[in-house]
Amino acid sequence: MTNENNEEFAYNAILKLILSNHFQPGEFLIETEITSLLNLNSRTPVHHALGQFVAMGFLDRKKKKGCFIPLPTPEDAEHVFFVRENIESQSAKSAAIHASDEEIKTLELIVENEAGVRKSSDIVAYSAINENFHACIAKISKNRYLQQFCQYIFWRSNVYVFFYHYKFKLKKKGDELKDSHSPMQHMKIITAIKNRDAEQAGELMAKHVRSTYESIWS
């Protein structure tokens, strides 16, 4: 495997370990242990992958101790989702103004694929396609700062989504994720973008993010 392939492998493997509850909030991810667990000859790919998660906001880093999954609190959750709601609503507004027909088709294809992924309890696959949807809208906004901030706050909020939402919302293996309203909400956002209705797109995105926050505590 090339260094690039090793880093991609380490990134995906670590994400899968986190999502499968191999690590818990507050727990440190030790590079040497993960390197051994993944049967890698060097810990460099693991170091780079963990650094990427820190930059994304999904992990925190403590000097001389390493990376760890942040300990969530209700107050932090409220702050995180408040920021995400406002940033992503602006992103959707801008996307409605700047989206090309081809970009709208890409969004529609993502949601079509999402419906299939949700028929299984594969949280890793769903994580990837959900990230793709939100990242695509941020990219379509044509504002690189919105794109950067959307990525960070999306992953920061996913600390709550993964550990306090899907962990308890999944049914038996092979069944669909319970919060199956998400694809419908995504399609409504796309329709508003397609209609060039910036205000509606922003309102729908804000409502979508807010419903995720509310479902965590339901």
d(CA 69, CA 47): 15
Which amino acid type is present at position 149? F
Distances (CA, A) of 116 to 119, 176, 190, 194: 6, 9, 18, 23
For residue 109, what are its two tokens? 């294809």
Q: What is the pLDDT of residue 169?
A: 45
Residues whose CB falls within 8 Å of the CB of residue 20, separated by 6 or more in sequence, listed in order: 123, 124
Q: What is the pLDDT of residue 120?
A: 65
Q: What is the pLDDT of residue 161?
A: 84
For 11-17, which contacts have Cβ atoms below 8 Å and span 24 or more sequence positions? 11/49, 11/52, 11/53, 13/38, 14/46, 14/49, 14/50, 14/53, 15/53, 15/124, 15/127, 16/124
Q: What is the pLDDT of residue 16?
A: 87
Q: What is the pLDDT of residue 142?
A: 97
Chunked into runs of 10 residues, the chain (218 residues) has average pLDDT values of 76 88 89 94 94 92 89 90 97 98 96 79 79 96 96 90 60 46 90 98 97 82
Choose among 20, 134, 158, 147: nearest CA to 77.
Answer: 158
Residues whose CB falls within 8 Å of the CB of residue 167, separated by 6 or more in sequence, listed in order: 21
Q: What is the pLDDT of residue 2?
A: 59
Using one digit for the tens of pLDDT, what is the confidence trace for 98-123?
999 999 999 999 999 887 777 666 77
Q: What is the pLDDT of residue 205?
A: 98
d(CA 101, CA 39): 45
Q: What is the pLDDT of residue 165?
A: 58
Q: What is the pLDDT of residue 204?
A: 98
Choose among 70, 55, 68: nearest CA to 29.
Answer: 68
d(CA 86, CA 88): 6
Average pLDDT, the chain: 87
Using one digit for the tens of pLDDT, what is the confidence trace for 156-165?
998 888 777 5
d(CA 164, CA 169): 9
CB-neighbour burial class of residue 98 (10 A; exposed 0-12, middle 13-18, buried 19+)? middle
For residue 120, what are its two tokens? 């299984």
Which domains, ranges and CATH numbers included, belong to the chain? 3-68 (1.10.10.10), 74-216 (1.20.120.530)
Q: What is the pLDDT of residue 100?
A: 97
